[in-house]
């Protein structure tokens, strides 16, 4: 029998309000930017912002998206482009119509050492995305824009899509969560607006909550780790893309509060059902309190606490639940990015209900060749096994606009396959961007 939907308790809201009040009263020394001392290194976020400044629209410089959001992806793409002739149509649209557009094709192939089912999977994702500034053109803040992203996700010559390889082998987790076999999907179509010198911002429409919730510098699964354990926490009952809204308020220049609501049952393959699905009243809610080093380093220098809650999903047969995650990351010397993240959940259909991850990223050169290593401990609901996952990847630029990222994972005591002591997963990911 499905229980009545649960709501975030009043005491939780009170705690967050009190925490925001404490942040508001933080000392001026903490709120103001520390003067840069001799020998200080700029962070990669700050360096990226400076490198892309000439091509970056005001809408991409403000707002509330994380590294995987359309605005941030456009900045990333602009910074990496080399073949100017291919970019002329994009530059013309941006200059004449304040419309920034992008496209990429991503491919992931994975193979596990042992599995009760198919041991290999490959998939691709073709994406078209953009951001159109319609309010406040020419201003550096307080701008509004329409953001879109459409995708086609598909298998390539294998029985399993790439995202199904690790679960089929018996691990409680997903490697390559965006490489499914969904076909055409609408993943973004929302309005984003900033006010009061970017102190306040909101998004509303067809959203992906992972674009702005629980983000840090290495959260983007299109360019960084494949394993979900090192992206958005697997202890969050993250909904599919669908109707939702979120707001962000900068309490001080370094402290922020972010909260939102989204459809818990959305299906981006059926956008015609978005409105009726949201109206069914089964929702996902989240609120986050965080601190950043500066606005330009908001991804790499980020510490936050997130609380979430999801209603019972009657048709899916999944009970509601709630949980919390914490995250810390700080870039050191302009190249090293260590991180520690943890999560806990009670119900909601999460992959794991206990998780702790730690690792480090290292920028090798100015061409964005990058190394990453992460270690995760997790426990799945109703499983007595302590699952450990390790991943190492290397992302290299082959030619302008094309990168390759081989990776290796080792899973000890897969939570959903007690007969298997351990397994390896080898993968290679390609990304071609226009």
17-21, 68-72, 130-134, 324-328: which range is least confident on average? 17-21
Which of the 8 DSSP states describes residue 418? T
The answer on pLDDT for 28 being more than 80 is: no
End-to-end Cα distance, the chain: 50
Q: Going by C-beta distance under 8 Å and a sequence separation of 6 or more, which residues neighbour residue 17? A: none
12 inside domain: no
24 inside domain: no
354 inside domain: yes
The domain that holds 329 is classified in CATH as 2.40.160.10
The alpha-helical segments, DSSP class H, found in 195-301 are: 274-279
The answer on pLDDT for 33 being more than 60 is: no
Which of the 8 DSSP states describes residue 40? P
Q: Looking at residue 368, what is its pLDDT?
A: 76
Is 282:243 a contact under the CB 8 Å cutoff? no
pLDDT (average), residues 407-431: 96
What is the DSSP code string of 370-382?
EEEEEEEEEE-TT
306 inside domain: yes
- What domain range includes position 224? 41-433
Short-list 217, 363, 362, 372, CA closest to 302: 217
10 inside domain: no
Mean pLDDT of the chain, nearest integer: 86
39-53, 91-105, 236-250, 390-404: which range is least confident on average? 39-53
337 inside domain: yes
14 inside domain: no
What is the DSSP code string of 107-131?
EEEEEES--SS--EEEEEEEEEEEE
Q: Looking at residue 351, what is its pLDDT?
A: 94
120 inside domain: yes
pTM for the whole structure: 0.85
For the chain, the domain total comes to 1
CA 408 – CA 392 distance, rounded (Å): 6
């Amino acid at each position: 029998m499905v229980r009545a939907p649960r709501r975030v308790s009043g005491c939780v809201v009170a705690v967050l309000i009190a925490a925001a009040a404490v942040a508001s009263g933080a000392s001026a020394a903490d709120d103001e930017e520390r003067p840069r001392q001799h020998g200080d290194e700029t962070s990669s976020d700050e360096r990226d912002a400076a490198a892309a400044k000439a091509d970056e629209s005001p809408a991409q410089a403000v707002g509330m998206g994380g590294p995987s959001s359309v605005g941030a992806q456009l900045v990333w793409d602009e910074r990496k482009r080399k073949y100017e002739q291919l970019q002329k149509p994009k530059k013309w649209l941006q200059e004449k119509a304040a419309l920034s557009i992008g496209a990429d094709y991503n491919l992931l192939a994975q193979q596990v050492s042992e599995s009760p089912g198919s041991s290999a999977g490959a998939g691709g994702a073709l994406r078209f995305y953009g951001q159109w500034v319609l309010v406040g053109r020419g201003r550096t803040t307080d701008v509004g824009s329409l953001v879109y992203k459409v995708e086609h996700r598909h298998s390539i010559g294998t029985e399993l899509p790439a995202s199904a390889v690790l679960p089929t082998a018996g691990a409680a987790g997903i490697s390559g969560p965006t490489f499914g076999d969904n076909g055409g999907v609408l993943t973004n179509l929302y309005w984003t607006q900033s006010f009061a010198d970017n102190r306040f911002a909101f998004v509303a429409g067809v959203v992906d909550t992972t674009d702005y919730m629980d983000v840090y510098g290495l959260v983007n699964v299109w360019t960084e780790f494949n394993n979900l354990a090192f992206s958005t926490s697997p202890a969050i009952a993250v909904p599919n893309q669908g109707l939702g809204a979120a707001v962000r308020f900068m309490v001080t220049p370094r402290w922020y509060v972010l909260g939102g609501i989204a459809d818990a049952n959305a299906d981006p393959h059926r956008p015609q059902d978005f409105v009726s699905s949201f109206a069914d009243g089964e929702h996902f809610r989240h609120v986050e309190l965080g601190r950043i080093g500066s606005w330009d380093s908001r991804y790499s220098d980020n510490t936050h606490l997130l609380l979430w809650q999801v209603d019972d999903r009657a048709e899916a047969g999944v009970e509601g639940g709630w949980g919390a995650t914490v995250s810390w990351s700080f870039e050191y010397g302009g190249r090293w990015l260590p991180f520690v993240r943890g999560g806990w959940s009670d119900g909601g259909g999460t992959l794991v209900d206990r998780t702790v991850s730690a690792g480090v990223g290292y920028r090798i050169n100015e061409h964005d060749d990058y190394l990453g290593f992460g270690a995760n401990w997790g426990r799945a609901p109703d499983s007595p096994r302590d699952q450990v996952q390790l991943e190492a990847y290397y992302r290299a630029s082959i030619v302008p606009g094309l990168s390759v990222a081989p990776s290796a994972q080792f899973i000890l005591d897969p939570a959903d396959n007690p007969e298997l002591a351990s397994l390896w997963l080898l993968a290679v990911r390609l990304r071609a961007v226009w």
